[in-house]
A and B are shown apart, each in its own frame.
Chain A
């Protein structure tokens, strides 16, 4: 059973870089059936797709965040990571990692999520 777990700091200062890691267990990050995605959800709002990566390293980013986002994959550790630079209070949200089907692009398996607050 594939499982995802986010990890990283829960508090970031404005202008700094948010860094999160998603550890994949119960399966391989080489799985050709999936993209690996980051999604965030501000308090009381709907989810927002941030970006996705394939095991080959190909990346796809939300145009509204593209200038600040980097997603990478570490196949040796079965992990993928999110870096979001120059954060502000509007980046405060629960951040989820998730699998995204390669053929239909829906988000199937989600991590439990990690709350990140941006505050000085």
Chain B
């Protein structure tokens, strides 16, 4: 099983600032990495796939980068609706898709 480790567990950011979230895979997943956003009481929502491709309707302030074992999700100009928990998911090892434990973005 590929273990996905996210850091930090919580990041405190002021509205309008930038948040940088990290995701590390226990072995290479190439660029087969997705990011999801989850708000309280809601299902996760797909943000990014292929490490850097935004899903339909996702604002440009969300950007993803990385390959292999190290990945980053950057949220620029944080809006109030962006405060949530973010999960990474690898889909390189078929069919053993795994998620990280999440990073919470909270208001500073």
Closest beta carbon of chain A to B36's beta carbon, Å:
8
Q: For chain A, which range describes its interface: under 10, 10 to 19, 20 to 34, or 35 or more residues? A: 20 to 34
Residues of chain B in range 17-48 having any CB-CB distance to chain A below 8 Å? 32, 34, 36, 42-46
Nearest-neighbour CB distance to chain B for A10, whole angstroms, equals 15
Please classify the interface of chain B as helix (H, G, I), strand (E, B), loop, or mixed, using the class held by over half of its residues. Answer: loop
Inter-subunit contact A106/B34 (CB<8 Å): yes
Q: Mark A88-110, 1 if CB is under 8 A from B, else 0.
A: 00000000101000001111101
Interface size on B, residues (CB 8 A): 24
Q: How far is the CB of B104 from chain A (nearest CB, A)?
A: 11
List residues of A whose CB falls within 8 A of some B CB.
45-49, 52, 60-64, 96, 98, 104-108, 110-113
Chain B residues in the interface with A (C-beta under 8 A): 1, 32, 34, 36, 42-46, 49-50, 55, 87, 89, 91, 94-102
